[in-house]
Amino acid sequence: MEVIIIKICFICTIYPPVTMGGGSVVVEKVAKNLLNKGHEVFVITTSRKNFRECIVDGVKTYRLPLNIYFLPKFYSQNMIKRILWQLTDLFNINAYRKIKRILEKEAPNIVHIHNYKGLSTLSFKAAKDLNMPLLFTAHDFSPICIRSNLLNGKSHICKKQNLPCKFYNKIQKMIIDNKPDIVIAPSKFVLEKLESKGLFKNSKKIVLPNPIELKHENNKKTYETIDILFVGSLSKHKGPHILIKAFQRVKRENLRLHIAGKGPYSEEMRKLAKDDKRIIFHGFLHGKKLMDMYRMANVTVVSSICYEVFGMIIIESFVCSTPVVASRIGGIPELVRDGYNGFLFEPGNVDELANILNEISENPKILRRLEKGARKSSKKYDVKEHINRLEEIYRSLTGKSQKNQI
């Protein structure tokens, strides 16, 4: 068997060891797995200050300072600096030139853009001006929303665009529309949202869920205490207040609510919990500590009131045989199946969520059935299958195919 080597350039806003959102984690995971299969991989990303070319876990990484400040500092800036940053990002000629120069030097077979905020919309033009096959994976709603999350300033779903947003999105559309040969998203919901705004009509569209490392889990759950888990940012749009209110309506002493996360809503959530000793705040957890929480939990609750693109929390929970109770919103219903690996409820509906929590705490048999469905569901998101599918997509664009040699 002759292995056909593909050289891939990933363009993404943030790349480890710095992380910001699930997109950077996915890119790192995919880059390492492609490298392990013998492909050539390099990454173009942003930098705090100076240009750096370095190796991160075997992956060549170009870190470029391209805007007036580093993206993770965006929300600590005043409004004028935020507006300047956004305008610079739309028409960043400096970014275009630097990215194009690196692409000319490296000559990849494929350019795969992930999150592009901070690397400018002109990164799409840089790849296409060199006639390189181009993929774009939409990890959020950046092509149609200046905030990238379809939320307004009050953390509610934005129903109507204001004039600045209309202008911003019109310019974005002019620059990036139909430049990708293929547009990938982790959920059908995201692709439909982009299409509803008239984007990427001439690009092939593929749903490719985010991957996870599958490990052998032999979880023995106990049911004397029913442990409920919330993982995520303590921000209003993630709905931690919905869960706390619902939990407090279930007056059972054998229930525990574990909240793993931090955010701007932290103090308010502690006040809402009052003196309920059944509610435990763990702060931000990651790695083994977080996975241990998933293993211990009887159910994970995702109470978002925003359009979730995918839901890594859901599949992380599934891997540990922990079912998920989640809002029926965004890409979530593509992962959670009512009565199979969890339950869905109307976003923001405290009564409906409370009824579900009460039912599962009364009847552990329901949980045992859901646990089996959760573990089976996790197998669909195995990183090995994700990489195989990605290789097929790359080969379809490059014309490179697997060849058998005798």
Most confident of 37-41, 82-86, 143-147: 37-41
CB 40 within 8 A of CB 32: no
How does residue 57 score in pLDDT terms, banded at 50, 70 and 90? confident
Closest CA to 134 of 97, 184, 170, 92: 184
Q: What pLDDT, on a 0 to 100 scale, did the predictor assign at position 52?
A: 84
Query: CB–CB of 242/350 below 8 Å?
Result: yes
The pair of three-digit structure tokens given for residue 299, joined into one six-digit string = 């159910």
Please say whether the beta carbons of 343 and 318 come within 8 A.
Answer: no
According to the model, what pLDDT value does residue 178 have? 85
Report d(CA 73, CA 75) in Å as an integer.
6
State the pTM of this model: 0.89
Token digits for 323?
């079912």
Q: What is the mean pLDDT of the chain?
A: 90
The CB-side HSE value for 159 (13 A sphere, CA atoms) comes to 2
353-406 pLDDT tens trace: 999 999 999 888 999 999 999 999 999 999 999 999 999 999 999 875 554 332
Residue ranges of alpha helices (H) inside 73-137 are 79-90, 93-106, 122-129
Contacts of 72 (CB under 8 A, 6+ apart): 14, 18, 20
Which structural domains are found in the chain, ordered by start? 7-211+383-398 (3.40.50.2000), 226-381 (3.40.50.2000)
How far does the chain reach from its first CA to its final CA, in angstroms? 8
> Which three-class secondary structure state does DSSP give residue 214?
coil
Conformational region of residue 399, where left means phi above 0, alpha means psi within -120 to 50, and beta covers everything else: left
